[in-house]
Structure 1
Amino acid sequence: MFASLFVLLYVGHLLADYPFQTDHQAAHKADCGRAGWSANLRHAGTHIATCGAALAAGAGLLADLTVSLPAAALALVWIGATHAFIDRRWPVAAWMRLARQQGWAQHGGAAHVDQTAHILALVLAALLLAAA
């Protein structure tokens, strides 16, 4: 069940991060102030919606997949909150400084670290759901 849950959440993540993320959200989700937080939270909300839809579709279509509603709600809040935090960009930059990866950061590495952090959050959400 973990694998099914993870795949569903990952597909929801990919949809929210790529085809459903607006240019405005991508450009401003890390900005300071109200406009930045607004873009960031709208983008995180898209993640909650797409991952929720993926879980609902999976629960409806896959006979062996049962999802606890309280666990699903907690997992979706976790996904939205961690996505909003990671997408402020300073956590990834801080990690890359700590890991002494500034050169890689200047050559596109931050996008890979960003996606790895998001996938880790999805793995934890899928583990929570599988254990519930």
Structure 2
Amino acid sequence: MLKSEPQEKADVRHSLSVCDVMRDNTNEVIMKIEGLLPSYIENFADLQEESLRIARDFFGTCYIAEKEFLDNMGVDQKAIETFDKCFKIITKTTLSEIDMMSSFQKTLVKNTMSAMKSYDDYVKLALSSYAKMLEYVTTMTKT
């Protein structure tokens, strides 16, 4: 009785190109970063919210602790009014600077997006020319 010899398993693999490797691995990294964006934004918003809450609580606590003390000191009302006017100027300036910074950030993002679009258009044009050159070289080497 002859034992049947095991058949060799055919090694069926699809052909893998350098471009496949680069594309697939790059996409994996990009997808990981994209997946983390909402978390980054939420974490930063939580951090900002907490720092503002702490600042608000600090001044609220100072208000409660110092109001009676300062009221009993008998500070001249005109001095307090002058302090209020000065503080309102500082507040108005700060609010204006916040608005300017917000506008600057919007403009920065808009300009960066425009530059990225220009770069993307240039890369697509360069890749199109590169593909045409490769096609030409391929046809020349076959003849």
Q: Normalising to structure 2: TM-score of the pair? A: 0.23
Structure number with greater Rg is: 2
TM-score after normalising by structure 1: 0.24
